[in-house]
Structures are given as C-alpha cells and as structure tokens.
Amino acid sequence: MDIGKYKKRIVVTGGAGFIGSNLLLTLVPRYPEYFFVNVDKLTYAGNLANLKEIENAENYRFEKVDIRDFNALSAIYEKYDIGSVMHLAAESHVDRSIIGPADFIQTNIIGTFNLLELYRARFKKDASTFLHISTDEVYGSLGEGGYFTEYSAYRPNSPYSASKASADHLVRAYHNTYGLHPVITNCSNNFGPYQFPEKLIPLMIRNACEGKKLPVYGDGKHVRDWLYVEDHCEALDLVFHEGEPGQTYNIGAHNEIENIELVRLICGIMDEMLGGGPREALIEFVPDRPGHDRRYAIDSTRIIKELGWRPQVSFEEGLRKTVQWYLDNRAWLDNCINGEYVKYYEQNYTDRQS
C-alpha cells in the first residue's frame, strides 16, 4: 500500500462507537484523498457491524488497539505514518462511571495523554491536527437560565465528566506549553443511529418495544440539550479543517427538553408508528442518579459565527428518524443485549439507591 499518496493520514480513535461510526461513515467516502485508521479497543460500546458500508474502502483500515497501550499505539502511528488524530475513544456513560470509575480514569485521561505524547513527538506545523472530542458535562450543571459558553468555568460532577475535564486540560496544556495545534469541541447530548441502548433515547425505545418499564430518574425534570449526530459530525469536519489551533468550540442545537417530556414524545411517536399503547403507561419514576446534573444548555455562537456551522436536522425530525432507525434495525439492537448488558442493567436499575 502506498500510504504516501494520501494527503492526510488520520487516526480516528473510538471509530466503532456511536459518534465515531457516524463520523467515519461520513468522512471516508467524502475524503478519498485522506487515509483513515480506526483505532478502537472494541469495548462493549464498540461494534464493527456499524461500519459494514466502508469496511472494504481503500482509504480505511481498522486496528484493534487499546489507547491505554502506548507501545501499541506508537506502532500504528509508525505503520501508517500518522499525522493527525480525531480523538473520540472514551468510556462515555455517566451511570457506569458511578458504578466503577477506574476504566474512565485509565482510558479518558491516560489514553488521551498517550495520544498527546505521540502527537508531540510527530508534530509538523500546518500538517498535524489533534481534534479532541469532549462534552458539555465538563461545565457542570446550570440553573433555570443561562448557557454554557467556551468561557464557562469547569465544574465536572461525575467521575465521567471529571475524567473528560482532565483530558481537556491536558490538551490545552499541550497547546500552551509545546505550541502544538489541538482543537477541542464540547458538545451536548447526541442522538441518532448506532447509539448503545444504555443511553436515554435508545434505552427507552428498546424497553418500549419490549413492553418493559421506562425508568425515569428522579422527578424527570432534568433538562438535556439534544444534538442530532449527523449535525455533530458536520461540525467536527468543519472544526478539524478550519478550527483555530488552541481554541475550544461548543456544539449544540438549542433543543432543550425535560427528560419526562422527551420520554413522552418517544412514546407518542412509537404509538403512532406501531399502533397500540399508550406506551406512556410504561413510565416509572425511579431513584435519581447520584450527583445528577439538573440542566445543560449550549451556546454555539462561536462555531456558528466563526466557522459558519448550522444544524440541519430539527429535533422532531431527528427523533422520528432515530425511532424509525431502531425499529428498522431490531437485529442490531438485539445484538447489543448480551450477558454484559444484562449485568449492567441489573446493577444500574435493580434496587437503585439515590
């Protein structure tokens, strides 16, 4: 393989996960002049079945590597002469970080450190970009008003968000200390195809399909600000190519909604599509998540004004497309349900203590 003919050689970490898969499915056909190496450990959340459409593409390879393993990562960088990275690999689920934070510290902090060290060793001005994908959860929780901006203070409240905040600080430090060119994105809750059914929307769709209870934490009035995954991927493409080195870009689509209202909407859409119901009757309030952030809302003015990004998919349209995707892909959903999932589900939902 003549790797030198490709204009950029890019490692995409976590490319078999929810956002990583959507990103690769978009970018691999869009940029035949780039070579993409999907570096993923394939945890419970990684699924190569997502990537069937591109698995034989000439400009794409998969490498099963744990980002905690510096030597293994280094060998991949040598093998493909890697210049840039889109870093998505992470332990991503808040409830799991509460049950057991160790993997979050190892993957999200040490893994990011390993990637930064490789970036530093191989850095070429104007040729190397480090796109670090982070979350709005680093900013903590909002009251009834206001928005997270790029200048909001970091106040992470869960082991997950604290580990992501630590990684963000490392990335920032590598810019300030070594003059490297990383860019950070902090986005709100994504939804869409290929999301693992531990997260609110696919979990509710799956449980409703099965006629199981729909567990809403606490009073259900916690607010999340939803972003359709394809709009997020377009934003990442833009920031990778045009983001200013050392800068942070918040990404969100102004779709704030209380969890209870969202679950009711999902039930309504499913009643309409499948008949039967009302599925709302399956809703059950369960003890709250410890340290549960009350409200997230993102101010995306910078990426809109400076890079011209605009979300294209309305919340209603995105939600309908998502429900339809899960109904059309029951086999994908059923394949997620293995012993590991059952154990996690029992740990998280049986005898919940707030």
Catalytic machinery residues:
136-137, 160
User: Which amino acid is located at 292 in the chain?
Assistant: H
Among 67, 109, 128, 137, binds ligand DAU (CB under 6 A): 137
Q: How far lies 147's CA from each of 113, 225, 252, in Å?
A: 29, 10, 11
Residue 122 or 352 having the CB closest to ligand DAU:
352
Q: How far is the CB of 134 from ligand DAU (least distance, A)?
A: 8
Q: What percent helix, strand, coil does the chain show, rounded to 5? A: 50, 15, 35
- Which listed option, ligand DAU, ligand NAD, none, makes contact with residue 215 (CB within 5 to 8 Å by class)? ligand DAU
Nearer to ligand NAD, 7 or 79 (CB): 79
166: tokens are: 């630590």
Q: Least distance in Å: CB of 289 to ligand DAU?
A: 6
CA-to-CA dists, residue 141 to 90, 93, 124, angstroms: 21, 17, 38
> Residue 94 binds what, of ligand DAU, ligand NAD, none (CB under 5 to 8 Å, by partner type)?
ligand DAU
CB of 62 to ligand NAD, least distance (A): 11
Nearer of residues 147 and 296 to ligand DAU, judged by Cβ: 296
Per-residue binding letters, 286-325, with ligand DAU (x by CB under 6 A): ---x------x-----------------------------
C-alpha distances in Å from residue 107, one per residue of 157, 204, 227: 18, 28, 25
Q: Which span (32-40, 63-71, 197-205, 315-323) binds ligand DAU, by CB under 6 A?
A: 197-205
- State the Cα–Cα distance between residues 82 and 250, nearest whole angstrom: 27
Name the DSSP class of 56.
Answer: T
Min. distance of Cβ 46 from ligand NAD in angstroms? 3
Burial level of 341, CB count in 10 A (0-12/13-18/19+)?
middle
Residue nearest to ligand DAU (CB): 135
Residues 80-109, one symbol each (x = binds ligand DAU by CB under 6 A, - = not), give ------------xxx---------------
CA 310 – CA 300 distance, rounded (Å): 9
Q: What residue 200 binds from ligand NAD, ligand DAU, none (CB within 5 to 8 A, per partner kind)?
A: ligand DAU
Contacts of 314 (CB under 8 A, 6+ apart): none
Helix (H, G, I), strand (E, B) or coil at 339: helix
Q: Look up residue 220 and give its DSSP letter.
A: S
CB atoms within 10 A of CB 284: 12
Residue of minimal Cβ distance to ligand NAD: 17
Q: Which is nearer to ligand DAU, 261 or 328 (CB)?
A: 261
Q: Which does 224 bind (CB under 5 to 8 A by kind): ligand DAU, ligand NAD, none?
A: ligand DAU
Which H or E element spans position 161? helix 159-178
Q: Which two structure tokens, joined as six digits, stand for 233?
A: 């991927």
Residue 66 or 237 having the CB closest to ligand NAD: 66
How many residues are recorded in the chain? Answer: 354
Residues that bind ligand DAU (CB under 6 A): 92-94, 135-137, 188-189, 199-200, 203, 215-217, 222, 224, 259, 289, 296
